[in-house]
A and B are shown apart, each in its own frame.
Chain A
Amino acid sequence: MSEVKFSKEHEWITLEGDVATIGITKHATEMLGDIVFAELPEKGSSVEKDGTAGVVESTKAASDVYTPVSGEVVDTNQSIVDDPAKINEDPEGGAWFFKLKIKDTSELDTLMNKEEYDKFAKETSS
């Protein structure tokens, strides 16, 4: 599996072959608070880099989930729809959102590595 990369919209992404797994970061879940609703893209649909690909809602508000790369949705994680609290418990592991068959691996180059993201998250939240 490739190195984990991060977007400015607080998504994480890993790559295995040409299939990317995408979720939201721990930092994002901490900002959102208790997550009580998740909506995922439809399997087989196409999503465009930086476009909306889902929704999460906390007790306080709704937030869009974006996709950091373009591709076709090949799998979605139904378990987080059934039990959204999982997203708070294991955001960067079991509570992934969707898998994409990606078109263009060079889109990953624009994303941050862990160190860059941690710095970005710290700066933007203070």
Chain B
Amino acid sequence: MEIKKTSLNKLHQSNNAKFVEFAGYEMPIQYSKGIIEEHKFTRSNSGIFDVSHMGQLFIHGDESLTEELEKIFPLDLKNLKQNCSKYSFLMNEDAGIYDDLIITKIEEGYLIILNAACKNKDFDILSNLLGSKFKMNLDNNRSLIAIQGPKSVEILNSIINGVDQLNFMTGNWFDSDNEKLFVTRSGYTGEDGFEISISNDKAEKFVKNLIEKGAQLIGLGARDTLRLEAGLCLYGHELDINKTPVEANLRWAISKSRLSNGGFIGSKKIMNQMQDGARQIRVGIKPEGRLIAREKTKIFNDTDKQIGEITSGTFGPSVNGPIAMGYVDKEFSKVHTKILLEVRGKKYPANICTLPFYKKSYVKGVN
């Protein structure tokens, strides 16, 4: 299969991107400054991320669509205000996660942002569940650009006036350069920032404009270290079809009002696990010293019994040390529990710690 390219591919090339294949797309892993510089620039200034490989699924419909989606997602969509977003999951009957996603109620219906590797399957699953009653469009004509970091609001507002009035996890349509853009105040770095949905033919010009105002392109490498420091899950690592939201320690994302009556796919399992607890749970892990424990590193207790496995591990540039997330047996999930990580045949000490590793700075209450 031919590798797919986003509308910003040429711009990445001219900025000396190193490319990797990710979910069938040629994506920049880093630019010439490298992952650590890019990571720190995002935390202190403003980083631009091409996330156009992700799915933008528009589903058109009225209140009957809300009712149908409540049968699928563990969300109180009836009481969700227009232009407000929620983090959620598409699950199977066993509450195994097909994908994690952001869903926003818009005037026309809903906009769902899906992971690149899952988007086509998600579309098929949702089409089957919803039938042909609602118009669904996995829009390949639009790019998705994230701008993240403390200077992002000032930079973006100078191009799209009014975005500074958005609260975290809300969005709206804006007009800019004879183009309708959908902008949400959101992201996946732990920083204040925005995601902009823009038609493919306008994307490059838009990003060049952001660069002129002082933002810089950031690759997937720094995106990974940023999200891990922020304690955020990455599908295929922390989340997959064999993990439930309760195991992933994401109960906060399940609307309380939906827990009493259930009625969404996977609700039975979720309600059981909420009551009885899950066997394993996702935790933050801090190795002692400088040791990096990568994905699939085995976790042991002090009597040499395997109690879990790392799902993501790297060096956190802002934490200035190694960080990891993984799953451990529930009885070892308490903060400050001492564990051992097996790396290259030797066992090294580490501690269960609170998430995030790096304090989030989301903006709430601007209006």
A-binding segment of B101-109, B286-294, B299-307, B355-363:
B286-294
A34 touching B36 in the complex, CB below 8 Å, given contacts A55-B344, A59-B221: yes
Name B37's closest neighbour in chain A (CB-CB): A34
1/0 contact string of B208-239 vs chain A (CB within 8 Å): 00000000000001000100000000000000
Do B221 and A37 touch across chains, with their CB atoms under 8 A apart? no
- How far does the alpha carbon of A36 sit from the alpha carbon of B344 in the complex, in Å? 17
Pick the residue among A34, A37, A62, A81 that contacts B34 (CB under 8 A): A34
Do B294 and A59 touch across chains, with their CB atoms under 8 A apart? no
Contacts of B34 in A (CB 8 A): 33-34
How far in angstroms is the closest Cβ of chain B from A126? Answer: 13
Contacts of B225 in A (CB 8 A): 59
How far in angstroms is the closest Cβ of chain A from B42? Answer: 14
How far in angstroms is the closest Cβ of chain A from B255? Answer: 37
Name A31's closest neighbour in chain B (CB-CB): B18
Do B35 and A37 touch across chains, with their CB atoms under 8 A apart? no
Name B222's closest neighbour in chain A (CB-CB): A59
Do A84 and B221 touch across chains, with their CB atoms under 8 A apart? no
Q: Which chain A residues numbered 29 to 76 have a C-beta less than 8 Å away from chain B?
A: 33-34, 36-37, 55, 57-62
Please tell me if B189 contacts chain A, counting CB pairs below 8 Å: no
A59 touching B29 in the complex, CB below 8 Å, given contacts A36-B292, A37-B291: no
- How far does the alpha carbon of A61 sit from the alpha carbon of B291 in the complex, in Å? 12
Name B314's closest neighbour in chain A (CB-CB): A59
Do A57 and B30 touch across chains, with their CB atoms under 8 A apart? no
Contacts of B291 in A (CB 8 A): 37
1/0 contact string of B262-298 vs chain A (CB within 8 Å): 0000000000000000000000000000111010000
A34 touching B294 in the complex, CB below 8 Å, given contacts A57-B315, A60-B221: no
Do B221 and A62 touch across chains, with their CB atoms under 8 A apart? no
Name A83's closest neighbour in chain B (CB-CB): B290
A62 touching B35 in the complex, CB below 8 Å, given contacts A37-B315, A57-B315: no
Please list the residues of chain B having a beta carbon within 8 angstroms of any beta carbon in chain A.
Answer: 29-30, 34-36, 221, 225, 290-292, 294, 314-315, 317, 322, 344
25 contacts between A and B (CB under 8 A): A33-B30, A33-B34, A33-B35, A34-B34, A34-B35, A34-B36, A36-B36, A36-B290, A36-B322, A37-B292, A37-B315, A37-B322, A55-B344, A57-B292, A59-B36, A59-B225, A59-B315, A59-B317, A60-B35, A60-B221, A61-B294, A62-B292, A62-B294, A81-B290, A84-B290
3 tightest CB-CB pairs across the interface, nearest first?
A36-B315, A59-B35, A34-B36
